[in-house]
Structure 1
Amino acid sequence: MAKIKKTPRPKAAPPKGFRDYFGADVTERKAMLDRIAEVYHRYGFDPLESSAVETVEALGKFLPDVDRPNEGVFAWQEGEESDKPGDWLALRYDLTAPLARVYAENRNDLPTPYRRYAMGPVWRNEKPGPGRFRQFYQCDADTVGSASVAADAEICAMLGDALESVGISGDDYVIQLNDRRLLDAILDIAEVADDPSTRGIVLRAIDKLDRLQPHGVRQLLGEGREDKSGDVTVGAGLTQLQIDKVMEFVLTDDRVNDRLARRAARARDEGDTEEESRLHSARDSTHEATRQNWPAKGSGRRLWNAEVLDYLGELMKPHDKGWAAVEALRQIVSLLTETGRNDHRLRIAPSVVRGLGYYTGPVYEAELTFEITDEKGHPRQFGSVAGGGRYDDLVTRFTGQQVPATGVSIGVDRLLAALRMKRDAAPPTGGPVVVTVMDRDRMADYQSIVATLRQAGIRAEVYLGNPKNFGNQLKYADKRGAPAAIIQGSEEAAEGKVQVKDLILGAKLAEGASVEEWKDHPSQTKVATGAELLGEIARIYRLHGLPLPEGFDPDAP
């Protein structure tokens, strides 16, 4: 008789590029998204939840940083093996492409402009790497149906408020502002061939200015470059004259810095020390300086942004669309000045590119400027956590008519990582208070105690395992991260009291406390049930910096 082959057990691990999120991660993410949602709501945006699955046709070929149609998505065909296969479907790769479909489908019922925000997971079928997963969260806000630059300015202001609402200080981020039409214009002025492949190489080279420096960008604009590992990146093959014209745009910061230096020297020669100081303040705001430490100099930043726009205006004079882009940026800066944001939190940044086939006008990127240590132990700035811009062609695929739109997307996981690096750890949240079970026949009494805690807003649970071994109950409470355990035996029950054990303090004392320290700082206290119990729990929470529920009142019924 043939031996029956056993069915292999499935591997207990998530697919490559995916991960599981446990209590603290989920709780912290939700708290952050709630604060951002409050900001979006305050600005008049409405929530939208769209389907996680779209037709491939509806998603289109706009996946950022991928040039081939439908590359990088998780897709399948309905009824693939049947005689009449159905539509190709795919998990959404962002929250913007579904918005275009939703708006086109419901435009007769939606207000114009339509202002919506959305939060949720997206999926990319791309090669995973350190910190790069195939499923991740995004947090978007978009205005559809308005061509006004006021919509772009509002998105930038709202992005700043959202970052500050979650604990990023105004000194720790900058919103970098550019316009995709400037990039197209400089390629026209440099007479770069109207070929998507060549222009894509040029734009990617410009986008790498921070990492590769001007010399590396020049190499990519020309024949290409070889990195330290020996890998060769093919260049755009531009002539030296074309490279020089593109670099006049790329090196805007350096050119403006030189101008300010010459004007400051003239002011010094003329004895105008106030003007010299003002110009030096603006020079301190240059990109080179910000690589080390972003200066909190509002007046210098305002002057710097104005000088950059003047310089770009001169470059774009022969190009109508380029000139229009400069004027659009001027208007956005003017509007943000009125809201108090044209200071060290705003920078005109010509090298910001964003997606290659996606944006049609102003683009913006939020960059965190505080210093961290990378995996190799080198200090660097954290980098970008959000970006967006104007995309006036996305809805056109459905309606045949151009519908202006602008919006921003916050990378939730990157922002959470940044917040943790900023404070060196996750915020203290604490697990539930655990009510232990001394007598399984008195479960109703323990449920009454836990109900008192829950009604006051305190997270709590009754131990539901085998109560035979009390030590295992305390081990369970420790594993749950419980700040306190509540113990009631027959003696305490007769008195109408409970023992409250401060588990956090107990763990600290157990690390090496003397007998005197144990007496001075008892980790277990007997209190009456009801308000006295709630007051003791509140004391433990405050002692260890744990957040109490909003409106918590131990004396409330």
Structure 2
Amino acid sequence: MAKQKKQPRPKAITPKGFRDYFGTEVTERAEMLQKIAGVYHRYGFDALESSAVETVEALGKFLPDVDRPNEGVFAWQEDDDWLALRYDLTAPLARVFAQHRNDLPTPYRRYAMGPVWRNEKPGPGRFRQFYQCDADTVGTASMAADAEICAMLADALEAVGIPRGDYVVRLNNRKIVDGVLRSIDFDEVIRSRGLQEIMRSTQNTFDVMRDDVLRTIDKYDKVGETGVRELLGGGRLDASGAYIPGLQLSEATEDRIVEFLTSRGTSNDETLENLRAVVGTDQVGSNGLDELEQIATLLDAQGYGPDRIIIDPSVVRGLGYYTGPVFEAELTFDITDEKGRIRQFGSVAGGGRYDDLVKRFTGQEVPATGVSVGVDRLLAALHAKGRMGQTSKGPVVVTVMDRARMADYQTMVAELRNAGIRAEVYLGNPKNFGNQLKYADKRNSPIAVIQGSDEHEKGIVQIKDLILGAKIAESATHEEWKERPSQFEVPRDQLVAKVRQILDGQD
């Protein structure tokens, strides 16, 4: 009889593009989400937790730069339906509102937080699963809703520790972009790129070119004016030397688009004036400018001036469902990258108006606007700035000197927990006391509680200040260390009070 082959062991590795999060990281994220939720709640928004899985049809095809199967989502077939993990929190909201609109107030103001998944090529700092924190208003066309979202975004950034001066919310309008692009004749470009079949099927040259141009000018903050010109024209080499094909637009068309991108003046009023000159008589673009002016006026009335929120024509946003005002929050402080180069951190949040997203389900236009905060990027920014990432304290560890007295140790830990102190009993092999202290060190415990048989008979406990002890061990002489100033002997009934006193002193 042939010897049965051993089943190979599975590899203990995280799938590419994903990562694991441990104690402090999870706690920091939860604290950040709580602070942002507090701002959203203060503005009158209600929480919503929608399904992580949607039909592919409900999600729609709005992702930018898709070069992965299933249009950038993780999808699978179930019976006759294709299902997918949500790629953002906005498309699911459109489905929720369409499904429950008769039971929801209008306008409906909601916030949502949770993971989203994108089937994209992973890279440094770019994962296939990441957290978003959204707030949206559905059911009003008033520019007051967009102004409120921008103000709320500024407040949220300050609430999590980004002070005024270290961020700016940049505001634009897709209608202005459309107004500029509508004045360009793309027919020759379509012919030169061999896209006549697409043109015949859509009967709209503008639709064929619009998304390509939007994705290109959305890279302005990364590649600059020269890079955008190359991508609008014959193409460019990226940092790795790979060739990226251009859109083959004429030089005159490049000039017009770049003129729009660089229209930002020294004030919002000057920027609007520059944009009116670029847009000319196009009605769609003029409407977009009027909306921007309304938003700027409303923000100014609330005290949100250009020190926090500015009009910037280079903001276009990559997602395809935006129909009006769009905005991004950019961090303006410098950081040092892994190669020691000085960089600015860039965008950590973005959003805009999407008046046609709910219409896909209802057939009727339902105006909506919202913002999404990239939680992981915001956490990374705070770490880079040194405003987060300090080692968090672990629990007080009650050591076990006598295995037969486990009930006594559990009583101690219960008293500490009932007093609101994070604590645990050592549950490993208690034979080696040194290993218990090593465990407490690995847990970053602030205090160890010790009671052997002698202490038990005397009705006392030993309380060891591990943080102070570590500092003394680093700098004290041997004689000073022998005095053990970081260890205290107290009556058993004073355990909680002494632990509290030491913790307060450490804080």
Same fold, TM-score > 0.5, yes or no = yes
Given candidates 100, 105, 112, the residue that maps to 1:106 is 100
Q: CA 1:481/1:98 → structure 2, altered by over 3 Å: closer, same or farther?
A: same
Whether 1:148 aligns to 2:138 is no
One-letter amino acid of the counterpart of residue 55, structure 2: T
Instruction: Name the structure 2 match of 1:500.
Output: 463
Given candidates 343, 361, 368, the residue that maps to 2:331 is 368
Instruction: Name the structure 1 match of 2:500.
Output: 538
Shift of 1:221: 1.9
Equivalences for residues 471-490 of structure 1 within 5 A: 471-490=434-453
Q: CA 1:306/1:527 → structure 2, altered by over 3 Å: closer, same or farther?
A: farther
User: Counterpart of 2:112 in 1: which secondary structure?
Assistant: strand
Instruction: Name the structure 2 match of 1:345.
Output: 308
Instruction: Name the structure 1 match of 2:413.
Output: 450
Does the CA-based 8 Å contact 1:60-1:70 persist in structure 2? no
Shift of 1:413: 0.7
Instruction: Name the structure 1 match of 2:381.
Output: 418
Instruction: Name the structure 1 match of 2:30.
Output: 30
- Between the aligned partners of 1:33 and 1:216, the Cα distance in structure 2 is 36
- Between the aligned partners of 1:338 and 1:68, the Cα distance in structure 2 is 45
User: Counterpart of 1:71 in 2: which secondary structure?
Assistant: helix
The alignment's C-alpha RMSD in Å is: 1.9
Equivalences for residues 287-436 of structure 1 within 5 A: 304-423=267-386, 426-436=389-399
Instruction: Name the structure 1 match of 2:209.
Output: 198
Which range is displaced more, 152-161 or 352-361? 352-361
Shift of 1:102: 0.8
Does the CA-based 8 Å contact 1:201-1:221 persist in structure 2? no
Given candidates 472, 475, 491, the residue that maps to 2:454 is 491
Q: CA 1:69/1:340 → structure 2, altered by over 3 Å: closer, same or farther?
A: farther
Which range is displaced more, 38-47 or 228-237? 228-237
User: Which ranges in structure 1 are unaligned for 5 or more consecutive residues?
Assistant: 79-84, 257-281, 283-303, 546-557
Instruction: Name the structure 2 match of 1:62.
Output: 62
- Between the aligned partners of 2:242 and 2:10, the Cα distance in structure 1 is 38
Whether 1:522 aligns to 2:485 is yes
One-letter amino acid of the counterpart of residue 236, structure 1: L
Percent of aligned pairs with the same amino acid? 67
Instruction: Name the structure 2 match of 1:216.
Output: 227
- Between the aligned partners of 2:370 and 2:2, the Cα distance in structure 1 is 64
Does the CA-based 8 Å contact 1:60-1:69 persist in structure 2? no
- Between the aligned partners of 2:387 and 2:144, the Cα distance in structure 1 is 38
Shift of 1:542: 3.8
Instruction: Name the structure 2 match of 1:232.
Output: 243
Instruction: Name the structure 2 match of 1:9.
Output: 9
Shift of 1:513: 1.6
- Between the aligned partners of 1:518 and 1:535, the Cα distance in structure 2 is 25
Whether 1:120 aligns to 2:131 is no
Whether 1:459 aligns to 2:422 is yes
- Between the aligned partners of 1:442 and 1:33, the Cα distance in structure 2 is 42
Q: CA 1:450/1:520 → structure 2, altered by over 3 Å: closer, same or farther?
A: same
Instruction: Name the structure 2 match of 1:294.
Output: none
Shift of 1:524: 0.8
Instruction: Name the structure 2 match of 1:437.
Output: 400
- Between the aligned partners of 1:154 and 1:528, the Cα distance in structure 2 is 58
- Between the aligned partners of 2:41 and 2:387, the Cα distance in structure 1 is 30
Q: CA 1:4/1:70 → structure 2, altered by over 3 Å: closer, same or farther?
A: closer
User: Counterpart of 2:328 in 1: which secondary structure?
Assistant: strand
Which range is displaced more, 430-439 or 308-317? 308-317
- Per-residue Cα deviation, 1:87-123 (whole angstroms, up to 9, x for no partner): 1111111111111111111000000011111111111
TM-score, normalized by length of structure 1?
Answer: 0.84
Which range is displaced more, 93-102 or 205-214? 205-214
- Per-residue Cα deviation, 1:309-357 (whole angstroms, up to 9, x for no partner): 1221232231111111111111111111122111311111101111241
Whether 1:186 aligns to 2:148 is no
- Between the aligned partners of 2:324 and 2:11, the Cα distance in structure 1 is 48
- Between the aligned partners of 2:46 and 2:484, the Cα distance in structure 1 is 51
One-letter amino acid of the counterpart of residue 500, structure 2: A
Does the CA-based 8 Å contact 1:223-1:236 persist in structure 2? yes
Shift of 1:209: 2.2
- Between the aligned partners of 2:156 and 2:279, the Cα distance in structure 1 is 34
- Between the aligned partners of 1:202 and 1:145, the Cα distance in structure 2 is 30
Instruction: Name the structure 1 match of 2:195.
Output: none
- Between the aligned partners of 1:36 and 1:158, the Cα distance in structure 2 is 9
Whether 1:241 aligns to 2:258 is no
Does the CA-based 8 Å contact 2:68-2:119 persist in structure 1? no
Q: CA 1:124/1:12 → structure 2, altered by over 3 Å: closer, same or farther?
A: same
Instruction: Name the structure 2 match of 1:555.
Output: none
Does the CA-based 8 Å contact 2:218-2:318 persist in structure 1? no
User: Which ranges in structure 2 are unaligned for 5 or more consecutive residues?
Assistant: 188-204
- Between the aligned partners of 2:164 and 2:93, the Cα distance in structure 1 is 31
Shift of 1:196: 4.0
Given candidates 154, 164, 174, the residue that maps to 2:158 is 164
Shift of 1:197: 4.7
- Per-residue Cα deviation, 1:147-202 (whole angstroms, up to 9, x for no partner): 11111111111111111111111111100001111111111123345344533332
How many residues of Structure 1 are paired with residues of Structure 2 in the alignment?
490
- Between the aligned partners of 1:415 and 1:228, the Cα distance in structure 2 is 25
Whether 1:207 aligns to 2:169 is no
Does the CA-based 8 Å contact 2:215-2:318 persist in structure 1? no
User: Counterpart of 1:389 in 2: which secondary structure?
Assistant: strand
- Between the aligned partners of 1:368 and 1:544, the Cα distance in structure 2 is 33
- Between the aligned partners of 1:475 and 1:107, the Cα distance in structure 2 is 57
One-letter amino acid of the counterpart of residue 503, structure 2: Y
TM-score, normalized by length of structure 2?
Answer: 0.92
Whether 1:509 aligns to 2:472 is yes
Shift of 1:425: 5.2
Does the CA-based 8 Å contact 1:61-1:69 persist in structure 2? no
Instruction: Name the structure 2 match of 1:139.
Output: 133
Does the CA-based 8 Å contact 2:69-2:119 persist in structure 1? no
Does the CA-based 8 Å contact 1:190-1:246 persist in structure 2? no
- Between the aligned partners of 1:244 and 1:128, the Cα distance in structure 2 is 34
One-letter amino acid of the counterpart of residue 127, structure 1: K
